Amino acid sequence: MFKNYLKIAWRNLMRHKGYSALNIAGLTVGIAACLLIFIVLQYETSFNTQNKNYKKIYHIVTQSSRGNEVAYTPGITVPAVPALRTDFPGATIAALDMSYGSQLTIPAASGHADKKFIEDVGVVFIEPQYFDLFDSEWITGNKAVLAEPNMVVIDKSTAIKYFGDWKHAEGKFLKMDNLINLKVAGVIEDAVSNSDFPFKVLVSYVTLKNYPNDYNYSDEWESVRCLVHR
């Protein structure tokens, strides 16, 4: 029976080639479009889901109103961080501050020129609590190093770019914006592509507080910094 259906279908296709080709082409395009939409939606909705507690992680923002317009700023005032920790002792809170267009200089050996890299994105001042929220694989070092000033953690690909081999990175020094001397205290695996936080150079947050004028850091309530919590 099924064989006969196939024969009839094939004869109809051959009898109406143009019409059949048009239908098959339309069906093919429709299936391809559906698959493409599915892949895009699956990727877009997968951001940060690699973290085991992603359903409990929240990004705190500031809401401001002007007339009937409501706007949101991706951060909160700096003094709100200790205030939230006091009011919500059961929450894990991590503050961070992005630095765009920073220059990282790797001092060269005697007789050679320094290596200089401009990082438009991926450089961040960050608290060690960040790693209590987001899962990262440490190759060397651990989150505790970010509790000290002038410490930096870099991802594996950046370590290779700066030092030729990530195994040679820990313990080396680099200078940020010709201003801050940083010691490489750890190396982590690269962030996955579907992450809202593709950090490459993670400087201890306490370092930022030592250079308030250079990075516009202020502990006034009008200042704004990014914050995530669980």
For every residue of 4-30, DSSP letters joined together read: HHHHHHHHHHHHTHHHHHHHHHHHHHH
100-114, 160-174, 214-228: lowest mean pLDDT where? 214-228
Q: How many CB atoms lie within 10 A of CB 65?
A: 8
pLDDT average, residue stretch 68-79: 85
Structure confidence by residue, pLDDT tens digits, 38-64: 999 988 888 888 888 888 888 888 888
How far apart, in whole angstroms, are the C-alpha atoms of residue 51 and residue 126? 18
The average confidence (pLDDT) of the chain is 87
pTM: 0.81
Higher pLDDT, 11 or 69: 69
Where are the domains positioned within the chain?
2-44, 54-229
- Choose the most confident range, by mean pLDDT, from 23-32, 38-47, 171-180: 171-180
Given a cut of 90, whether residue 123 has pLDDT beyond it is yes
